[in-house]
Amino acid sequence: MPTPISECLYCQNNETLHRLMIKICDLEVSQLFLFKEQSYYGRCNVVYKDHAVEFHELSDEQRNAFMHDVAKVGKAIASAFNPTKINYGAYADTISHLHMHIVPKYKDGYGFGGVFEMNPQKVSLSDKEYAEVIEKIKAGL
């Protein structure tokens, strides 16, 4: 059963969201967030601005605009951090709001060669380091 808007983490823009992520900016049809947990250095989340649950619910124009935002973020992360590979994941079993995880992976880095862990709780940054990561990403947008 999809999450109703009244309970949606992204639509409510609540303290739980802010404990997990830092908003970077608005994109064409999305919002871009940096995960505070940075085991995958530069990991972000591209979140569709309106409450949608499934890709197939979007019009072709909406879906293409969302994927354009996702690709734009992937390119910015590639430019900023030069990862070996970027993984893209659209998971929403319990948080039913259309979003895409952008997960940079680095050879010999955490989780390389496997499926990424949602929240390994291994790496946190200082406020200054988060700001630096955000500025590097924004520079590529």
CATH number at residue 36: 3.30.428.10
- Which pLDDT band, with edges at 50, 70 and 90, does 35 fall under? very high
Residue 96: pLDDT band with limits 50, 70, 90? confident
Which residue type occupies 17?
L
**pLDDT higher than threshold 90 for residue 4:** no
Q: Structural domain tally of the chain?
A: 1
Which pLDDT score is estimated for 23?
Answer: 97
- The neighbouring-strand residues paired with 25 are 32
pLDDT digits (tens, 9 = 90+) for 111-131: 999 988 888 889 999 999 999
**Average pLDDT over the chain, rounded to an integer:** 93
CA angle (77 as vertex; 31, 41 as ends), nearest 5: 100
pTM above 0.85, yes or no: yes
State yes or no: pLDDT of 138 exceeds 70.
yes
Tell me: pLDDT of 5 over 80: no
Q: Is the pLDDT confidence value at 1 over 60?
A: no
Domain that holds residue 122: 5-139
Strand order in the sheet with 44-48: 21-26, 30-35, 44-48, 99-105, 85-89
Cβ contact 21:9 at 8 Å? no
Element (H, E) at 35: strand 30-35
